[in-house]
Amino acid sequence: MAAESGKIDPMHQFAIEPLFGTDHLAVGGYNIAFTNSALWMVITAVVLWIFVAGGMKRQLVPGRWQMAVEFFTGFINKLLLENAGSAGKKYVPYVFSIFMFILMANLLGLLPIGIFGLHPFTFTSHFTVTGVLAIMSFSIVLAVGFWKHGLHFFSLFVPHGTPLPMIPVIFPIELVSFLVRPFSLGLRLFVAMTAGHVLLKVLAGFVINSTNAGLGYGALVGIPSFTLMIGISALEMLVACIQAYVFALLTSLYINDAEHLH
């Protein structure tokens, strides 16, 4: 790995550490320690709650904050309306929650509070978390699909106009592509977040180690690395938004499949 340079380990930022001595907090034999990951989940939820609560003034002529909140609800509403039709309207609370939760988590994880000695933690860079979120979306699709269409839901795996002899071949392919959805949904977010954060930490390691090796190395390696970090930080903010959007978009597309089959 890229961590051969002294003590700087770019993967250390993903390490989960129990906080406040809750290491052995357990329910029914399962450990539920309040970790740094849990702390940032709570921070994300609270920040999101404050953000939306600030837009609850319900004024006829909205202020800036209300405008911002209404932009996001309108954005999710439009996303569902375009991808799942008018039947998608009832999923606005869920898709809004998942979109804003992921967006806030991604953006808060990028906060440069390291300069104050604090360590932001991006819990969306953990497969456990993104996997659970993906399974939630996928379970909703399954539940709605079977509740609405019963066994007819399986016709989702036979596209319209498939010739009869092709059905035994097409069906397993479609089934596998359907079952892969939660994995691709969860992995995409996890990989995008992990890769970006590793890249930033590796470059930061270059800056520190080259400067430690001498002023000449620092100028030669550190300054270009730092410039690249600024650009990549901007890119990471874009990725944070895009990944949240992709998660919400794919969720709404899958909901459309469940609502309307094909």
Residues in touch with other proteins (CB under 8 A):
11-12, 14-16, 18, 25, 27, 30-35, 37-38, 41-42, 44-45, 48-49, 52-53, 55-56, 58-60, 62, 66, 69-70, 73-74, 77, 92-94, 96-98, 100-101, 123, 125-129, 132-133, 136, 190, 194
Q: In angstroms, give the least distance from the CB of 128 to other proteins.
A: 4
Residue 130: left (phi > 0), alpha (psi -120 to 50), or beta?
Answer: alpha
Cβ atoms of 221 and 210 within 8 Å: the answer is yes
Q: In angstroms, give the least distance from the CB of 18 to other proteins.
A: 8
Q: What are the contacts of 226-235 at 24+ separation with CB within 8 A?
A: 228/203, 229/200, 229/203, 229/204, 232/196, 232/199, 232/200, 232/203, 233/110, 233/200, 235/196
Decide whether 123 or 157 has the Cβ nearer to other proteins. 123
Decide whether 59 or 227 has the Cβ nearer to other proteins. 59
Decide whether 53 or 230 has the Cβ nearer to other proteins. 53
Q: State both tokens at 18.
A: 């129990």
Decide whether 65 or 171 has the Cβ nearer to other proteins. 65
Q: In angstroms, give the least distance from the CB of 252 to other proteins.
A: 14
Q: In angstroms, give the least distance from the CB of 185 to other proteins.
A: 15
Q: In angstroms, give the least distance from the CB of 204 to other proteins.
A: 18
Q: What are the contacts of 153-158 at 24+ separation with CB within 8 A?
A: 153/258, 153/261, 155/261, 155/262, 156/257, 156/261, 156/262
Structure letter (DSSP) for residue 5 = S
Decide whether 92 or 253 has the Cβ nearer to other proteins. 92
